[in-house]
Structure 1
Amino acid sequence: MLKSLFNWKVLVNLLVAIAVFVGLVWLTFRWLEYHTNHGQEIPVPNIVNKSVHDAVKILEDTGLDYEVDSATYNPKYRPFQVLQVYPAPGSRVKDGRAITLKVNPRSWAPVAVPDVINKYSGLAFQRLDQVGLKVGDTIFEPSIQKDAVLRVLFKGNSLKPGTKIPRFSVVDVVVGSGPLRNISIPNVVGLTVKEARAYIARNLFEVGIVEHEDGGKDDSDIVYYQDPAAGDARDQGMQIDLWASKKTPAELRDRIEQLNSTYRMKIDTTLPPIRYEEVPNFQDEPVTVPPPPVTPKPASPKPSATSTSKPVSSVRATDTKPRTATDNAAKQTATQVTDKPKTKKVTIQ
């Protein structure tokens, strides 16, 4: 057994097998070294702060691959500026290695417009601010939905909920200011139902009940009657009921008269208008008559020493006219004059 193991032929075969194995291993590593460019490394160029177009061109000329990743938008840097490189500049990598570039995007990431239509304006403004949108102008428009958001505008265009726009964009909000008062009702008699609906909406009213003569729902039927009547004053948002038919209004005079007797109030203008006059009431307060003016009596000349005063009785005897307020005043004056002491006759020697 041992003699056969140490036979020279066996030893030769064993040495040949070992040599073949070592040769295969050496060839395998040489092939891998050649295939993977072992020992051939390329330094990563410094492309930070360059534009992404210039950075990509430099990497291609160097023999390196690249991957672009958009970072969060930073307004301090230029759009499409390279902010970060991985591996870091100066690192040695193999030919064909992919270099990751962090690039500043052109603008903020887009956000979806929230559904704030028909919502209270205060809550709508908060919701827009939460998603990163700024409210610019607040436009007030007549509407029955007072203080509610009617539309959201971006660069003059109306936005639907869910539309994506750049974050921190400025949007305008249209808010209802309340209904207009005493608007004239439009005349839609003679129009089709479809035309009447559009015309009523343009005049800030709403369509109420639409009664078709044949019981159908054909919008091509002609409107032959409306309530309220054309020209009446109503507030914005009021409903206008319509009656439509395949026939023209001229062919439905009897039906129109019947509707007039139901929906139109007749006012009799043949009776004369009633006039009301206010009569003052003097029973509640006493009436105060001002006293008549007293005419001052001219001063009589002083009697001389030789003259005597006339008796008052002669004046009263001639007074035969009925006494008036003026006469009473004159009587009081005469009484005062009569009550004065009589002048005594003085003889001077």
Structure 2
Amino acid sequence: MTLFQFNSWRDVLIQLALMVAIAVVFLLGFFYVYLPNTTNHGETITVPDLEGIPLDELGEFLTDRNLRFEINKDSGFSSQYPPLAVLKQFPLPNSKVKENRKIYISLNAKEPPKVRMPQLVDGSVKNAQVVLKSYDLLLGEITYASDMALNAVLKQLYQGKPVKEGASVPKGAKIDLVVGDGLGNQEFNVPDLIGLTYEDAEFSVIGQGLKVGDVHYDENGRAEGSSEVMPLGTVFKQSPASDQRTKIGNYIDLWIVGTEPESFN
């Protein structure tokens, strides 16, 4: 007795159609019912962004999300993150993966590599920022010192001590700068002009960034505390006196032995 009896071509076609239908149902059931139930087909997890997460927190973080990780041998360095924090990952964040997928990560170096300290002195603060960034160094604290050059770098410091060009410093180190305030020495001792001729006194005053103020004449000019008349044409008194302090641009009044010169028009 045979399984199928064919009385006509119509019966053959009907039997073939039934066999194809059974096969299609079987295949659909296999791929859309059996496989999803046994392999979690279609169930995916969004890969989180791991950058910056410390290694000692990574295991628990990924386990809670049904993921695993493996550390790559290569590493890098970024001053933005602490040592042994995640720098790179694969698959990338927001990728879709199956549960228990392994994420490959690269860690931030435990010890930062060394770089050569660049020369910043005599350059501007703006230039120092650009140079430090190119060397993977950070701009630290800026303090100002009295100097005529505004925003010019006077000193470069690492950990509070001067650091010379070419010295070895850790990548990511903070470099502090001492910068000119553009004002020069805000206060300094008044020059001693007593005994100088008017020309010499004027040269000294102007050379120190000061100005000659009022000029007085006295034929009997004597230095303070002295009973002797000083030589003709010399300074016997000044204001402010040499034991005081002054600032750039201030005036100094002079008293000269002699008579006031006649002005000729």
Q: Which has the larger radius of gyration?
A: 1
Choose between structure 1 and 2: higher helix proportion: 1
Whether TM exceeds 0.5 here: the answer is no
Query: Could you state the TM-score of these two structures normalised by the residue count of structure 2?
Result: 0.39
Query: Could you state the TM-score of these two structures normalised by the residue count of structure 1?
Result: 0.32
